[in-house]
Structure 1
């Protein structure tokens, strides 16, 4: 009995591509198209919002810098203004931003009050314009996440879709601040978990980051980074890179522990937050009077100088960590990552100056390595290095970032990060349902028995 030609074709088709597989491809394609559109819109809108914030902030900084010396009196006024603006508009906006967003994604299904957006914009400008030592990435992340969370609520998204859109907002905000679209996207995904990576959201994160970057560039946000001379790949260069990475891990440990120690010290002060703001302002003013005002603010000028090969004072990164912690503990609003850029670059310049090496190159390595170590994002930091300094730095940046990430240990400027995979097999998860129950593996002591002859 012969089988008709059409029937044979259908049977062959079913043998080659199962029906279930075709359905899966259709579902995947529909999901990709949906999130391409959503991430493009979310990235463009977030980019426009962050660009407006960054341009307003820079204009405010230029305005204050042009004032006479009495402008330093604006530091206590700015910190008090930050405290009261957050208290009146949105108390959830307190802190340095990124950590609050990570907590919202892990424990509140990505729900962030929309009033956080105007509160964070106003409080950050009041903190940074007079000279508070904070960064722009934390507020930008909280602004982007708050906006996309509100957008997800308005679109009546499910919990899973809302969290996905909030991650797009995080990546778009970081791309707008860093000027590194791929690095910003990877950072937005990698920063949520230590030792884990949420791949399903990577595509929309990348699309939203690129859209945000393009909108910011079109609106006039500039991303000028000095060119860095990268040495030819050699065993000697890699050896110096490894040694520098070990040094950067010590810098990260100091940085994280200093921020934590000063935060706890201020919490023990039995005084209302406005009084603590005045204490913080007094510390900032004393440092500015003793060592100059180059340590105030985000540290962008010092970062640019270090990358251009200008060695910073040996105490620069020590004091920057202290002033960052003091500003945040006193109610200042801002991020921790931008000052960390300067801390890493200044440390890299110090290392290079001590051994007669290229200051600009090692400042660039310190820049990205301290990001990897202080917030557990080695992949994002490596991508950032390639986007900012060129592909030739990739082997050095990859080595420095991974070594610094490993040696910094279980520390982070973002304590709400969830540990998925520890940095050593000596740690075990006691309770699989509790991601905070990591303990050191207990080893039985082996007793050697010696027989006497």
Structure 2
């Protein structure tokens, strides 16, 4: 019996989503594998040749020149980074296809010369760049264009961290607060899983692992402590976001959006901070101390040092990502709090990692799924409460000012729907 005519459009659309999502996943997975492998090599190179950090200001000048010369197209500015991808999903802008290669080069420069950054921003922007290429090549409709851009985000995040389920939801949850476009679930899921398996299986890239050795027994007391800690982690995310955006706004205004001068000054500040602290632990991605925070004590104010290093690096125009720095801040703060709180060290580090990310990214469901994929489902009830608590108490702040608020997090905030996080922050000032 043949397919009924009324079912053909559904089957055709579903087939296109699967094909396009798979295609995006293949390319994003391959480019992300290149990103992770190259970042590892450059990070090790800097560790063995610490003097290269003194060239960070010059690397900033080069990076600024590239963005000013080649980063703009038809009024769309690649320097907006993830915000441009979010605006494109909402139909307010268009992704510049060369954004991906530019942000990769910028990330390599930042990591090699000692800027404090992550990687998911580069992966997401490459995902958006590849998705836009697919959109134009296949002349995709406007509605499907937005869906495929979400798929690019999903593929980038899933491949960058080895968390395909988280990546699928992240692509739908990242763009707006209070609304998820479940119509995009199929292509986002396909793109994220394909991207993940291309990165790991086809290219053999290994991701970091974090182990929670002991989880406390369930009790009202422990839940109460988890809620209080999650509020603390949410405030940490707000502090970082405000400082990072403040530095960006000030430097753009003071230097008249000259990205070359901004990055030169920012790079000089990073050198000064490194010399003052007498350590390079907070340059680059700081993965060693992040992993250490799950196993043994780390410096008590490591979270604050990383916060300042990252805010200066990204606020002055360098690029990369903010998820790993947020992971670091939350995990090391949780580690430090283990001195005062009678809960397992690795559990507190994991709680801080996930809750700080949930508050900064405004993606509580993706953050919760991240805890499951990263920690193997250990302490699932605590992480669920932590993600929701951090999300609510972080208010309407976040990493990406272009996130649209379809529904306020709570009626207590008394905000109108439809504004972006950036607009609300400006109104408060």
* Runs of 4 or more above 3 Å deviation: 21-27, 270-273, 426-430, 434-439
1:244 alignment counterpart: 229
Alignment gaps of 5+ in structure 1: 1-20, 440-453
Q: Does the Cα contact within 8 Å between 2:114 and 2:283 map onto a contact in 1?
A: yes
Contact in 1 for aligned 2:176/2:406 (Cα 8 Å):
yes
- 1:164 maps to which of 144, 147, 151: 147
Contact 1:194 1:376 in 2 (8 A): yes
The corresponding residue for 1:59 is 41
Residues 414-447 of structure 1, C-alpha deviations (whole Å, 9 max, x = no match): 11001011122245676x7x545999xxxxxxxx
CA deviations over 1:186-216 (Å, ceiling 9, x no partner): 1111011101111000121111101000000
Whole-angstrom CA distance in 2 between matches of 1:101 and 1:170: 8
Q: Which residue of the partner structure matches residue 378 of structure 1?
A: 364
Q: What is the DSSP-based 3-state SS (H/G/I as helix, E as strand, rest coil) of the residue aligned with 1:83?
A: helix
Deviation at 1:237, TM superposition (A): 2.6
Number of equivalences: 413
* Secondary structure of 1:74's aligned partner: helix
In the other structure, the counterpart of 1:411 is: 397
Corresponding residue number in structure 1 for 2:56: 75
Match of 2:263 among 277, 282, 290: 277
Indicate whether 1:294 and 2:277 are aligned.
no
TM-score, normalising length from structure 1?
A: 0.86
Specify the alignment match of 2:163 in structure 1: 180
- Secondary structure class of the residue paired with 2:97: coil
SS at match of 2:378: helix
Q: Bigger shift: 187-196 or 24-33?
A: 24-33
- Secondary structure of 2:117's partner? coil
* d(CA) in 2 for partners of 1:55, 1:288: 25
What is the correspondence of 1:34-433 to structure 2 with a 5 Å cutoff? 34-67=16-49, 69-91=50-72, 92-95=77-80, 97-108=81-92, 111-218=94-201, 219-229=203-213, 230-270=215-255, 272-291=258-277, 292-308=279-295, 310-426=296-412
TM-score by length of 2: 0.90
Counterpart contact for 1:76–1:278, Cα < 8 Å: yes
Query: How many Å separate the matches in 2 of 1:396 and 1:332?
Result: 35
Larger of the two Rg values belongs to structure: 1
Change over 3 Å in CA distance of 1:221–1:290 after alignment to 2: same
Alignment RMSD (CA, Å) = 2.2
Contact 2:234–2:359 (8 Å) recurs in 1: yes
Post-superposition shift, 1:71?
Answer: 2.0
Question: In the aligned structure 2, how far is the partner of 1:25 from the partner of 1:286?
Answer: 64
SS at match of 1:334: coil
Contact 1:369-1:381 within 8 A present in 2 as well? yes
Report if the CA contact (8 A) 2:84-2:95 is conserved: no
